[in-house]
Amino acid sequence: MKIAGGKLVIASHNAGKVREIGALLSPFAIQAVSAGELGISEPEETGTTFVENAELKARHSMEASNLPALADDSGLVIPALGGDPGVYSARWAGAGKDFSVAFSRIERELAAKNISGKVAAYFACVLSLCLPDGKIHSFEGRVDGTITFPPSGGAGFGYDPIFTPDGYDVTFAGMDANIKNSISHRAHAFEQFVSFLEKNT
Ligand code: IMP
């Protein structure tokens, strides 16, 4: 597979994400360049699954650049709420990206269904690699846990304050970032991606 020694477009406009992925790719002599740097627009996320959204973002960047492209999509899934917020995780926080709005909506919707006690949830992350010949390889990671109210912990982002991973008694926002980053959905998806690169480059 023709990536080694070449460029890989990271289909993200988030500089932090691109730097992090770049560091991860350094053992493979792959140079990460961001879609933003190349002037590639962000497509609308019209998919109804993480895989669909990750694949459409990866394909969009590959077609715009003619280079292999990597995209990710992630979110929080609450099976008792029919999988919500799921692919709409970012959108539930509204235009102001205020996650307290999303937390209240989760609390309200669980109460409306008379659901109390331990509520199972998981974070999912799909990474999709689209090659210039159009072939796509997708890798999925997941971390299981429970929804915890009231929100707690000052670290992390997004839904971290209301998610306690199985085997721990603090939320993602209450734990050391290194621990979160070693057990997260993103870490598991990346492990699979890296093992694919080890076998295929
Ligand atoms: P994406 O950027 O389209 O993948 O949207 C991901 C959204 O899912 C983010 O805005 C967060 O709301 C949520 N999310 C994904 N991963 C995490 C995480 O590790 N902690 C907290 N929230 C997350």
What does the domain layout of the chain look like in residue ranges?
7-200
Question: Does 183 contact ligand 1 (Cβ within 6 A)?
Answer: no
Residue 3 neighbours by CB under 8 Å, 6+ apart: 28, 30, 68, 131, 197, 201
SS3 for 124?
strand
C-alpha 1 – ligand 1 centre gap (Å): 30
C-alpha 53 – ligand 1 centre gap (Å): 13
* C-alpha pair distances (Å), 16 with each of 21, 66, 104, 132: 9, 24, 29, 25
160 is catalytic: no
Name the DSSP class of 85: B
| Architecture, CATH, for domain 7-200 | Alpha-Beta Complex (3.90)
Residue with token string 């020694």? 5
pLDDT, residue 116, reads: 84
Atom 8 of ligand 1: nearest residue by CA position: 75
Question: Does 65 contact ligand 1 (Cβ within 6 A)?
Answer: no
Q: How many of the other CB atoms lie within 10 Å of CB of 80?
A: 15
CA 93 to ligand 1: nearest atom: 12
Measure the CA–CA gap between 156 and 160, rounded to whole angstroms.
6
Measure the CA–CA gap between 163 and 139, rounded to whole angstroms.
23
pLDDT, residue 25, reads: 85
pLDDT, residue 134, reads: 95
Report, as ranges of residue numbers, the positions in the chain whose pLDDT lies below 50.
none
pLDDT, residue 117, reads: 85
Atom 14 of ligand 1: nearest residue by CA position: 75
C-alpha 75 – ligand 1 centre gap (Å): 5
C-alpha 160 – ligand 1 centre gap (Å): 9
pLDDT, residue 1, reads: 61
